[in-house]
Amino acid sequence: MLTVNWLNSRLNKPREKEDTKAHKYGLSARVRETGSISFIFRFQWEGKRNKITIGSYPKIKLLEAAAIVDNYNLLLAQNKNPKREVKLARIKVNNEHTVQSLAMKWWDFHYDNHPNKALNKGTPHNVNRSLEIHIFPVFGDFPWEGIDRAEWADLFMKIKKRSPSIASRLVTTIKQIASYAIENGITKHHPLLEYSAKNSLGITKRKGNRILSDDEIIKISEALIYSRMKESNKIFFKLMFIYGCRTQELRLCQPQHLDFKNKLWTVPNELNKPKDKKDLGQTKAIKRPLFDETIELFEKAIKLNPKSAWVFPKIIRATGDDPVSDTAMLDIPQRLRLKVIDKYPDTVMPNWTKHDIRRTVRTRMSNIVARDVAESMLGHVLGGTEDHYNHNDFLEEKLVGYKTWYEILDILWGKNDI
């Protein structure tokens, strides 16, 4: 057990190595090489070893440290984590930012001008949900500066096991919050500034290069026709193959976006993905020509759900309706792939995604229209100063490209009506 004589005999006396002596009820004293002494409380929480540094001797007397430990053990008896309670108390005294309060302060600032900030979709929503699901339940009430690198790294590793992409997103997000806090004088440093998803977690993003072949397009079309998915989803995927558009441009398409009289589909600027975050407020509407075959497909989709505010609704309720969700579309490529393999056992078809359709269309357009036209057809921002000076919508050129591509698809599809 610790005594005042034992503490005084070692105080401020250099030694070769650090020494620790236990007292009782989890209290111990740590004597460093320099002779400085600190009181430590060690305890178990949820099967893991934890410790709290109480303070240095003789600023804190032995009896005072013992009284503090008694209070910690009382918290344990009440099923409360002493370490967490200490941090919460520190927040109240110092008025510090918690992880959650600072994260939401950053979120409001970072996405201030984002067109999707108030909507349940898009990047702001996805980042907020990732924080709510993975970060706030664990560290939300903790002081921003109260979490060390090891604790962050342990949490990120656990998230990585479930979803590497979410882990990567959260590493980037927390580092952005840290930079915001430093730049605004909220904090002076953060232990994750040199941490990265690539080097620290081994998460790398692969650059996609999957292009669907003619034979794959034929077999996917056949699987689509004879699948049990609802008719509107079949139309959705057929339009994706024709236009090579982003998923959200169809998911969030509304009848008023479609001008059948003038044969024009206008994707509002808020649905257009910017080239860079700094361009969030400068996105432009995407204009695509409609032609007889695509007008027929859009009209058919609208007639399937005439009371919906969306061309491709998820479900219609008495109180309103929602567009089909992105997650509802994620597994369709895999389901179609498995149908193809089931019918054609000798066929080797690697995994493919919705974005591979988009990449396929862009590749085919290289042989049909000029580069700027092909980029504009996909809603891409033109490179360099071209985007600032060239505001041509290329509607005539796009129409030639889409019709030529549709003729190729129509042959591959065998003129089957979906």
Whether 323 shows a pLDDT value over 90: the answer reads no
Spans of all domains in the chain: 4-94, 99-201, 214-412
pLDDT tens across 113-171, in order? 776 677 776 778 889 999 999 999 999 888 887 788 888 999 999 998 888 888 888 99
Q: What is the CATH number of domain 4-94?
A: 3.30.160.390
Instruction: Measure the CA angle with vertex 138, ends 172 and 140; round to 5°.
Output: 75
Calpha distance 199→285 (Å, rounded):
38
Q: Which two tokens stand for residue 134?
A: 């993975």
Average pLDDT for 55-78: 90
- E-strand ranges in 46-190 read 48-57
Strand order of the β-sheet with 258-259 is 258-259, 264-267, 286-289
According to the model, what pLDDT value does residue 293 have?
A: 95
Highest mean pLDDT among 147-156, 238-247, 323-332, 387-396: 238-247
What is the Cβ-side half-sphere exposure of residue 300, based on CA atoms within 13 angstroms?
A: 17
Q: How high is the pLDDT of residue 383? A: 55
Given 1.10.443.10, 1.10.3720.10, 3.40.50.300, 3.30.70.100, which CATH number is that of 214-412? 1.10.443.10
What is the overall mean pLDDT for the chain?
A: 85
CATH fold for the domain made of 99-201? DNA polymerase; domain 1 (1.10.150)
- Give the model confidence (pLDDT) of 172-199 as tens digits: 899 889 888 888 888 777 788 778 887 8
pLDDT, position 97: 83
Task: Say how far apart CA 336 and CA 97 lie, in whole Å.
Answer: 49
- Of 39, 30, 83, which Cα lies nearest the Cα of 62? 39
Range with the poorest average pLDDT among 19-28, 38-47, 324-333: 324-333
Q: Are 31 and 10 in contact (CB under 8 A)?
A: yes
Burial class (CB in 10 A: 0-12, 13-18, 19+), 393: middle
pTM for the predicted model, two decimal places:
0.55
